[in-house]
Chain A
């Protein structure tokens, strides 16, 4: 469908619809409350009048003669029997009524004040091209306080707004009398007063009389939206079901007609007023069905109607759901799962999906033969095609083509073939919440069997993805320009370095870290056969160096194998994660092999663990390679070593079990002693507190002092217990390997499993809520000792007592609640922050400007450095340069 732009918009003016304008744009005055008669034709002058546009396919609009697609609908109108207050303006009406005289409708300010303020407002508008709302609010507030009109000396009365739409006047007999008489202001009275306001006074009330007269806020005519805005649906039982808006309009017309008839028949005042109020209710709920103070209008089933305001407002409203966010073609979504054999640049796409998503390829004399083959294969077998678009724009659906040969032969340059996704195509891959730019990256397609998207484990951190059921989205860029941008700017390898801190966000994780430790630790040696297998599995063909041990058999160290993959000319020095932080560092001679040195691409000393190849690590080997050798080399390195590690790990075997947290009997006795001592100490402290001989800490009450002391004693005992357990768990223990190398877990977690779980806390203090003066009925009232306040003495290995289990659940629940609350608030905070910063851009002259061209910074970040290309925020890492120069020259 060709897109027509009828006019070029150069300005927008908001205003109110005047009754005349409503009548002018109306094509029919609606007077019948019914929609259709028995035989299903629309009743003329009814709510479904043919002149309001058409929604039936095939039918022509009675106004413009167009069919469904072309006719955008036409407004009708309802003449209201009596004026009705528009709920959306109740506050504004209230403010104006308070600021004007009840007799002469002039603003309650002296002529001088009027003149002065007028000048101010005009000046402000000229300068800033917007209204001075602060000044206008001040004027309104000031005028509301005046008791006698400066123009006609009439005594003013207080106006009250009873929400949502009723106005009252509290009339005093004289200036001094305290007795007030409460009188209702009908919408007619309100409209009368506002009609008398002069255009000049409107300016002071914050209204531009050219576009919005104040009396237009009280309706006399109601526009009826075209049927296209409120289509009726036909159910299978051929019963018509009307839109909520139509229902509401039916109510309005019905009451309006009743009101008119009653007025004309001269019915008593009381009846007329009742009907008037009912009409006001219907019109109010027509605009907004969630006004406070009145019950929402309901459907027969009891469901609240979705009227005008509800259509626009909120997350599911027109703005946030249909205008800011739209559903797109050429996209798909499914569950993700890991595949270590993929490159970080690749994404595994299920065959079924790849046959649905297409890329339009123009037929040229170069690719015509290839595309003919695709057409011959058709939409049902993989590298095929779904559609052909001929030069004149005719679309051929290949699903319904009988003789594919004929279509393929008719192919000529200028046609477009929508072919299936195939290996090497570029696609965008995304996981919500899209918090930063690495949440959407470009990947190359790899078509695979089964039904999940596959991705390399190293790209989990930027997406924050795991495989417990996460789903991700995939989008296919259609134009060559979009594909080129995706490939050069968004490809995963271009995003390895995080712009948050100059270091890799994509890197090895979890099992890769364990495997790298097992491979590169001192005592690991491999035979020729083993070494060869590891290297081949990485997908590279490299020659083995001279073996480190030649007799009695040839053995290669893990470090040698790993070194094969480090790019040449790489120099790196750092401590490993397993470093014990000794007071005096032995550097290269470190006993734990925790001092990592890489000289010219050879790993000389140290083990490779999280600090060298992990994601989100500053100053890592991976980061060094990334900055010195570029994205391509870093990606190749990462892809190769991860495949290598997978092979190493499955060859060596690696598992964690109950035995990993099992400690010898003597350790258990030592831990018990520690905990007994701690409990004894707490009891003594409590005794001291009870006797009042506890020494108070500065700035604390006795209660606080006691709590602090106990917390300190207990947490110290847990730490020592954990340390004792740690002594018996060595580096041959898999769980310890994971904790120490940074693969998963920590020594604290291990201590909780092996030694003692420790104090459970709610709101940062020991658990104290529950029953009166105690946490559970198992304790004496007023008990303060360790077990009664949530100290868990047992370890996970030994098992928790029911009471301990309960206490642990208390602490666990708090954690869950906290995460739920934190994500929602921080998410909203981030949304607002990004909204404020979204259009700023660095220009060619180096300045940072917003969309209006206003300068935010003279040079980006005050130093002009792209953090993603920096060395952890700095332009040069001087230590690395010195290290490289010194260490390399000495050796030569």
Chain B
């Protein structure tokens, strides 16, 4: 049995070195979920949006597409190394 690695080491780089150059669909789902929760709890919306759209998930998706979310994606490798990637880097790749 292999032991789980607890030590985490951050990789600092100017480009995306961990994982694919664009946002994976799982990351997309995770971000929309997190942002959707914020909006549902009453966070102010960062973009202009039509009055009739009220679903927080739809608003969050819209915000992601407009690249206004100041979020960071932490990509963790199985050996414990990880890279913090600004969301804007990943959106550019899409």
Contacts and interface: CB of A to CB of B under 8 A. Distances in A.
Interface of A: 129, 361-362, 364-367, 370, 413, 424, 426, 479-485, 487-489, 494, 843-845, 847, 849, 852-854
B4 interface: yes
A384 B1 CA distance: 54
Contacts of A479: 37
Interface string B16-56: 00110000011011101110110111100000000000111
A365 to B, nearest CB: 7
Contact of B2 (A426, A482, A852): A852
B40 A852 contact: no
B54 A488 contact: no
Contacts of B29: 484-485, 487-489
A514 B27 CA distance: 42
A844 B32 contact: no
B60 interface: yes
B6 to A, nearest CB: 13
A844 B77 contact: yes
B71 interface: no
A426 B33 CA distance: 13
Given A361-B40, A367-B54, A484 B2 contact: no
A481 to B, nearest CB: 4
Contact of A480 (B28, B57, B78): B57
A672 B40 CA distance: 76
A481 B55 contact: no
Interface residues of B, number: 29
A413 B40 contact: no
Interface of B: 1-2, 4, 18-19, 25-26, 28-30, 32-34, 36-37, 39-42, 54-57, 60-61, 75-78
Contacts of A844: 18-19, 75-78
Contacts of B42: 362, 364-366, 413
Contact of A489 (B26, B39, B40, B57): B26
B41 A364 contact: yes
B37 to A, nearest CB: 4
A362 B55 CA distance: 12
Given A480-B56, A488-B25, A129 B40 contact: no
B32 A488 contact: yes
Nearest to B45: A366
- Chain B, interface SS category: helix
Given A852-B1, A853-B78, A480 B18 contact: no
Nearest to B34: A481
Nearest first, the 7 A-B pairs at minimum CB distance are A364-B42, A481-B33, A484-B33, A488-B29, A844-B19, A480-B36, A484-B32
B16 to A, nearest CB: 11
11 contacts: A480-B56, A483-B33, A484-B36, A488-B29, A489-B26, A843-B78, A844-B77, A845-B19, A849-B78, A853-B4, A854-B2
A480 B37 contact: yes
A845 B77 contact: yes
Contacts of A361: 40
Nearest to B28: A488
Given A484-B29, A484-B33, A844-B19, A364 B77 contact: no
Given A844-B75, A844-B78, 15 more contacts: A361-B40, A364-B40, A366-B54, A480-B57, A481-B30, A481-B34, A483-B57, A484-B32, A488-B28, A488-B32, A489-B25, A843-B77, A843-B78, A849-B78, A852-B2
Contacts of A854: 2
B52 to A, nearest CB: 11
Among A481, A484, A485, A853, chain B packs the most CB atoms within 10 A around the CB of A484
Contact of A362 (B28, B34, B41): B41
Contacts of B26: 489
A479 B76 CA distance: 25
A844 B33 CA distance: 21
A367 B4 CA distance: 45
Given A845-B78, A853-B2, A424 B33 contact: no
A545 to B, nearest CB: 33
A484 B58 CA distance: 9
B94 to A, nearest CB: 12
B77 to A, nearest CB: 5
Contacts of A489: 25-26, 29
Nearest to B20: A844
A360 B40 CA distance: 10
A365 B42 CA distance: 7
B24 to A, nearest CB: 9
A365 B54 CA distance: 12
A464 to B, nearest CB: 25
A475 B61 CA distance: 22
Contacts of B4: 853
A424 B53 CA distance: 11
Contacts of B54: 366-367, 370
A847 B36 contact: no
A482 B39 CA distance: 15
Nearest to A847: B78
